[in-house]
Amino acid sequence: MMKDDADVVLFEVISTGRLQVGRATLNRPRTLNGLTLPMCEVLHDKLVAWANDPSIAFVILDGAGEKAFCAGGDLHGIYDSILNNETGHAWDNAYTRRFFEIEYRLDYLIHDYPKPIVVWGNGIVMGGGVGLMMGASHRVVSETTRFAMPEITIGLFPDVGGTWMLSRLPGGTGRFLAFTGAQLGASDCHFLGLADHAVESARWPEFMAAVQAATWHDDARENAIELDRLLQGFALQLNEPGPLERHYREIRRACDGHDFHAVCQAIAGFADHADPWMQKAAATFLAGSPGSARLSFTLLERARLMSLADVFRQEYIASLHAGVQGDLQEGIRALLIDKDRNPRWNPATLDEATAAWVERYFEAPWPLGSDHPLENLG
């Protein structure tokens, strides 16, 4: 770890009497707490240490600043590593290999954690932030939450276990979210089962004070129950349905099927919808990467009956290929480097993004006879 990376995640141990609570705060508010490789490394190692520390009752994970829990991954670092890959082979991009391996191990650890983890999904929760949040035992949103998997806009796909999550949503909704990057608020997160609790952002300090004042136990289940009780005491009332819930039946009818082009055509048709939220979803899809749409569709189809560990292994292969033969470099260039917002996608059309074309994303890129880097996951 470089010296400049020493405070990218702040760690605190909150004394509550006999037991303690571990708190990890993502600390890059200027970049909306976007995940870097050093952040993933230090957070992974600390979570492992806390899991094995009997004095730690549970863990709280949040983000510095008021705008975001975590807006995604280190796109600038990935972009530079793609440019510096002289051979153009997926396995030769050492940074991307390491970044996705550690990030996916961190996300899987949260899913499989032996103690409760509370994630405060306040503000922007996108991409890598979703990966950190979805496996937590207590996923908490607020009135400011903007939850999305917008990878189609940069030529990637909903990774960090996103294809596992989206494939298990009610038919069609996962495809809709993957294809459109549509943002969900607290109400829709609850409606889809993507959040467990909602707390008004101004009351989060009260909840933290209640955590410190409470008595915690050696038994993880008892602590999970007590956390539910505490969070319910600060519950934000979600009286109005969100836009996805309002259009739920319509979205399911449009997107629940195995015909890729039929789903694409239905989402494109939302451009003329009366609701601006649906119009924006269609516009994002139409401007997004056709290759990402096909890849996301295929990954969701395959992930539905796979274990979480197998999904991470599948996503890892696809992510490495995205760094050399997909639209990821061009998408990052257009959005963050040149900022012209005019990506030149390849394939350029949905018709060119065929089922045969996408098969390249499922071929192991490492030397013959080598094990999958995530072979021991799970």
Taken as a whole, the chain contains a residue count of 378
The Cβ-side half-sphere exposure at 73, using a 13 Å CA radius, reads 32
pLDDT at residue number 326:
79
The Cα 313–Cα 104 span in angstroms is 9
> What is the CA angle 310-24-313, rounded to 5?
10
Return the domain boundaries, the chain. Answer: 3-362
Of 354, 349, 158, 361, nearest in space to 260 by CA: 354
- For 129-148, write each residue's pLDDT tens digit: 999 999 999 999 999 999 99
CB distance 135 to 79 below 8 Å: no
CB distance 254 to 168 below 8 Å: no
- For 150-167, write each residue's pLDDT tens digit: 999 999 999 999 999 999
For residue 51 the two structure tokens come to 């899991």
The Cα 29–Cα 42 span in angstroms is 17
Q: What are phi and psi of 259, to 5 degrees?
A: -95, 105
- Count other Cβ atoms within 10 Å, centred on residue 345: 20
Listed range (39-48, 59-68, 176-185, 322-331) with the worst mean pLDDT: 322-331
DSSP output for 112-127: T-SS-EEEEE-SEEET
Of 113, 100, 85, nearest in space to 36 by CA: 100
pLDDT-derived band at 6 (thresholds 50, 70, 90) equals: low
The Cα 135–Cα 378 span in angstroms is 14
3 state SS of 198: strand
CB distance 27 to 38 below 8 Å: no
pLDDT at residue number 2:
37
Residue 338 has pLDDT above 50, yes or no: yes
pLDDT at residue number 5:
52
The Cα 244–Cα 192 span in angstroms is 9
Q: What are phi and psi of 124, to 5 degrees?
A: -75, 125
CATH code of domain 3-362: 3.90.226.10
Report DSSP state, residue 172. T
Provide CB contacts within 8 A for 176, sequence distance 6+.
182, 251, 254, 255, 267, 281
Please indicate whether residue 157 or residue 7 has the higher confidence score (pLDDT).
157
